Amino acid sequence: MTSSLSRSRAWLLFALLCAAGIFNAMDRPIIAILKPDMSAEFGWSDADFGRLAAVTQFAAALSYLFTGWMIDRLGVRRSMVAGVTAWSLAAAVHGWAMTGWQVVAARVGLGATEAVQTPLTIKTVATLFGPRLRSLAIGAGTLIGAAGTITLPFFIPVLAAAWGWRGALIFAGAGGFVVLALWWIAARGVVFDDAAEDPALDYADGAAPYGPILLERRTWAIVVAKALSDATWWLLNFWLPDFYRRELGLSTEQLGLPLAIAFLGSGLGALLAGWVSGRLMARGWAPARVRAAVMLVSALVVAPVPVILRIDSYWAVTVMMGLVLAGHQGFSLSIFGTITDVVPRSKVGRVTAFGAFCGNLGGVAIVWVTGAVLSAGGGYTPLFVFAGASYLLGFAWLRMMMPAVPRAKA
């Protein structure tokens, strides 16, 4: 933990970072919720929408190869300023998009700048908190993000009715700048110890941006598991509103409650997994054992997702989807916790970013395939079967590939 920082101030800085992340993440639910309006304006089909989502995801994936290295070089303070400024400007640019190609260009810019958020969050957690608090911090951050996502389906239609979908994205950009100003005030006088190194965890020679990281077995253990699980996350993140329209016959105005319940489950799942992880460590469980236990339980929670397609009850489908997203966040939190346990602090940004790069490639593939499958009349069945198996496959891969390594020091 940064030596000049009290615990309460550390939590405040982290909460403001997470609040900035809410505005970072607004673009995806905005686009998904307003899909009918945008499709009508630009003449997009399901396949076109899938390609738009894939292009955005691909831009983010490529950007992760740079952002992780940048964050490790710049540190928490300068990365926060650069990142929030970049993604807020990129969101605001949507206000000038008047053609389909201009929307695509704006989405590429936003996808690329959004890629700062994940490695910056994990780097901040590794810098501000000791091992026992890191899972709880990641879980709390996810809950804060989910709280923002929960409110979006309710007020996005209101914003869109008043200002259009472009205005909603401009709002996201303006909100990011407001939070950044608050963070800057709260961080005044803080010295971030984000370059501290544990020699026992070092990845050989750290001079090259990615070379030592890519040669590490533990890196590949993490990133492949993340790619498998993230594919399901992006499937639901982009296509859940469409699923509710097709399967439950909901209108845009009726999406608010089921989406809110789904993302509330996401946030509560992360918080619960973080709290349980911290409690088990306090009782003497080794971090590796804690991560494995939480990860396996989370994978088993997601596994029944194909059953949702055979349920006719609105409330049963809604609650089960919340459980599925809770399972995802418990799994994801354990992967990020593993990174903070086994990766030296000076390389956390790069390993996290490379994992996010691979996760986003999985997202590119799944959103593109989903659009094609739905356009061909295949429905959600093959997609949900894959989703149910992806976490168990990721868990098995991580357990098989992760070598025994010492955990990072506080």
Q: Give residue 26's pLDDT.
A: 67
What tens digit of pLDDT does each residue of 96-149 get? 878 878 888 888 888 888 888 888 888 888 888 877 788 788 878 777 776 776
Q: Could you tell me if residue 281 is inside a domain?
A: yes
* CA angle in degrees (0–180, nearest 5) for 380-395-326: 55
pLDDT category of residue 207 using cuts at 50, 70 and 90: very low
pLDDT category of residue 200 using cuts at 50, 70 and 90: very low
Q: Residue 95: give the domain boundaries.
A: 7-188+208-401
Q: Of all residues in the chain, what percent carry a pLDDT higher than 70?
A: 88
When pLDDT is averaged across residues 270-299 and rounded to a whole number, the result is 90
Q: Could you tell me if residue 365 is inside a domain?
A: yes
Q: Could you tell me if residue 199 is inside a domain?
A: no
Q: Give residue 330's pLDDT.
A: 92
Average pLDDT, the chain: 81
Q: Could you tell me if residue 198 is inside a domain?
A: no
Q: Could you tell me if residue 286 is inside a domain?
A: yes
Q: Give residue 405's pLDDT.
A: 53
Q: Could you tell me if residue 1 is inside a domain?
A: no
Which of these ranges, 30-34, 70-74, 81-85, has the smallest mean pLDDT? Answer: 30-34
Whether the predicted pLDDT of 305 surpasses 60: yes
Whether the predicted pLDDT of 326 surpasses 80: yes
Q: Could you tell me if residue 183 is inside a domain?
A: yes
More confident residue, 152 or 135: 135
Whether the predicted pLDDT of 64 surpasses 70: yes
Which of these ranges, 36-50, 64-78, 281-295, has the smallest mean pLDDT? Answer: 36-50
What tens digit of pLDDT does each residue of 11-37 get? 899 889 888 877 777 666 667 666 777
Whether the predicted pLDDT of 195 surpasses 70: no
Q: Could you tell me if residue 196 is inside a domain?
A: no
When pLDDT is averaged across residues 163-181 and rounded to a whole number, the result is 81
When pLDDT is averaged across residues 205-228 and rounded to a whole number, the result is 75
CATH number at residue 20: 1.20.1250.20
Q: Of all residues in the chain, what percent carry a pLDDT higher than 90?
A: 18
When pLDDT is averaged across residues 378-391 and rounded to a whole number, the result is 92
Q: Give residue 393's pLDDT.
A: 95
Contact 112, 63 (CB under 8 A): yes
Domain count, the chain: 1
Whether the predicted pLDDT of 48 surpasses 90: no
When pLDDT is averaged across residues 154-179 and rounded to a whole number, the result is 78
**Among 50-59, 149-158, 209-218, the range of highest mean pLDDT:** 50-59
